[in-house]
């Protein structure tokens, strides 16, 4: 006798017409969802895959990461998608921040240093670093609209003392007058979204004012057809604007790690502030293998 789960009429109808040569039967439709990997374009499955990935990444994390998550208060402010691990709820952004932090920390001392982050988003990495290290000063340079968000978020999640260590600098109206020397400049997933000349002027600034540069950006551009099946969303995602910015505009296959690896040397070179700089570490930015983490040191 079959259970109700296996009394599905759509499954029976599709199995009656089944022909092994039918295109896409392992990707979509009732047979795929009952017998194959579930269709990721179905929004409920998107959540399934995101949380599965997060659980797997945490399962593979080093046990000592537990302390790091517990040291960052208010990580889940804003109600992100979370899974439970290390006796706490963990979301994807802070998983990512911890990995980025550990890579940096393994090569550069952060104790009492001045950090400047360009394009900090809502402030997840700033929140993490200030919670984990005794930082002298943390400067955020960003677009005015994003600064409004990071100011409010960071004030809400950090203690008054730690929030007091942050200086917010408007990238459009204030940064051209900003000439303080810093120890480390950080840029994550954002120089690739800026005009090439803006990136060059930031790199020039870094060359003149910083000892280290920690950059994490994609090695090139991918086309959304590699991800989205619905053609309408190509316009929505403003493909042209996304592909035609950043210092590297070469389009690559997002799902081919061999191609990605071949793009790494050029990527490292393009983001090097000048010939005075050397690479002290680089690695793929797991789980987004098309993003690459590079730590450069100023030799001067
Ligand atoms: C995709 S978000 C990444 C945010 C953050 N780094 C993270 O990984 O969560 C891109 C960031 O770049 C910033 N940005 C865009 N153009 C910029 C510019 N010209 N100068 C500084 N920041 C910029 C955006 O405001 C945003 O904070």
State mean pLDDT over 151-180.
Answer: 97
The pLDDT assigned to 136 comes to 98
**C-beta of 193 in contact with ligand 1 (< 6 A):** yes
Least confident range from 2-11, 191-200, 234-243, 289-298: namely 234-243
Residue identified by tokens 């017409």 is 17
List the one residue out of 113, 68, 111 whose CA is nearest residue 88. Answer: 68
Model confidence pLDDT, tens digit, residues 41-62: 877 888 999 999 999 999 999 9
Q: Which residue has the higher pLDDT, 261 or 230?
A: 261
**Confidence band of 238 (pLDDT split at 50, 70, 90):** low
Alpha carbon nearest to ligand 1 atom 11, residue? 119
User: Other C-beta atoms within 10 Å of 143: how many?
Assistant: 14
**Confidence band of 86 (pLDDT split at 50, 70, 90):** very high
**DSSP helix, strand, coil percent of the chain (3-state; round to 5):** 45, 20, 35
Model confidence pLDDT, tens digit, residues 99-114: 999 999 999 999 999 9
Whether 152 shows a pLDDT value over 90: the answer reads yes
**Confidence band of 230 (pLDDT split at 50, 70, 90):** low
**Confidence band of 245 (pLDDT split at 50, 70, 90):** confident
- Chain centre to alpha carbon of residue 167: 23
Quote the DSSP letter at residue 27. Answer: T
**C-beta of 119 in contact with ligand 1 (< 6 A):** yes
**C-beta of 189 in contact with ligand 1 (< 6 A):** yes
- Ligand 1 pocket test, pick from 92, 119, 139, 178 with the greatest ligand atom count within 8 Å of Cβ, gives 119
List the one residue out of 87, 89, 91, 81 whose CA is nearest residue 48. Answer: 81
Quote the DSSP letter at residue 168. Answer: E
**C-beta of 149 in contact with ligand 1 (< 6 A):** no
State mean pLDDT over 130-143.
Answer: 98
The pLDDT assigned to 219 comes to 95
Tell me the average pLDDT of the chain: 93
User: Other C-beta atoms within 10 Å of 6: how many?
Assistant: 10
The Cα–Cα gap between 81 and 75 comes to 12
- Ligand 1 pocket test, pick from 100, 121, 192 with the greatest ligand atom count within 8 Å of Cβ, gives 121
**C-beta of 199 in contact with ligand 1 (< 6 A):** no
Enumerate residues 6+ apart whose C-beta is below 8 A from 59: 85
CA distances from 90 to 32, 64, 154, 278 (A): 31, 15, 18, 35
The Cα–Cα gap between 220 and 252 comes to 7
Q: For each of the domains in the chain, give its residue range(s) and CATH number, in order of start.
A: 90-298 (3.40.50.150)
Contact 291, 272 (CB under 8 A): no
**Confidence band of 236 (pLDDT split at 50, 70, 90):** low
Contact 189, 291 (CB under 8 A): yes
The Cα–Cα gap between 197 and 287 comes to 29
- Ligand 1 pocket test, pick from 143, 203, 221, 238 with the greatest ligand atom count within 8 Å of Cβ, gives 143
Going from the Cα of 51 to the center of ligand 1, the distance in angstroms, rounded, reads: 25
Residue identified by tokens 């080093």 is 62
Model confidence pLDDT, tens digit, residues 184-218: 999 999 999 999 999 999 999 999 999 999 999 99
The pLDDT assigned to 237 comes to 60
Going from the Cα of 245 to the center of ligand 1, the distance in angstroms, rounded, reads: 13
């Amino acid at each position: 006798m079959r259970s109700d789960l296996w009394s599905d009429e759509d499954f029976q109808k599709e199995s009656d017409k089944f022909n092994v040569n039918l295109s896409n039967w392992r990707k979509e439709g009732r047979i795929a969802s009952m017998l194959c990997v579930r269709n990721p374009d179905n929004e409920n499955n998107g959540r399934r895959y995101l949380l599965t990935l997060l659980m797997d990444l945490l399962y593979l994390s080093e046990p000592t990461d537990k302390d790091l998550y517990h040291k960052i208060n208010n990580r889940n402010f804003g109600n992100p998608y979370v899974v439970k691990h290390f006796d706490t709820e963990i979301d994807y952004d802070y998983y990512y921040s911890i990995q980025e932090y550990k890579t940096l920390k393994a090569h550069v001392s952060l104790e009492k240093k001045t950090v400047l982050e360009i394009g900090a988003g809502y402030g997840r990495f700033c929140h993490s670093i200030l919670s984990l290290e005794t930082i002298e000063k943390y400067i955020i340079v960003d677009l005015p609209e994003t600064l409004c968000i990071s100011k409010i978020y960071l004030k809400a999640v950090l203690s008054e003392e730690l929030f007091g260590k942050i200086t917010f600098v408007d990238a459009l109206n204030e940064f051209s007058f900003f000439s303080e020397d810093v120890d480390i400049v950080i840029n994550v997933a954002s120089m690739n979204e800026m005009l090439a000349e803006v990136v060059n002027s930031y790199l020039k600034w870094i060359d003149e004012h910083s000892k280290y540069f920690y950059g994490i950006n994609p090695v090139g551009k991918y086309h959304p057809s590699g991800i989205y099946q619905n053609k309408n969303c190509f316009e929505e995602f403003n493909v042209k604007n996304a592909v035609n910015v950043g210092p590297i505009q070469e389009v690559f296959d997002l799902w081919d790690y061999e191609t990605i690896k071949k793009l790494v040397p050029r990527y490292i070179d393009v983001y090097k502030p000048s010939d005075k700089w050397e690479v002290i570490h680089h690695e793929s930015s797991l789980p987004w293998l098309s993003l690459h983490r590079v730590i450069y040191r100023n030799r001067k």
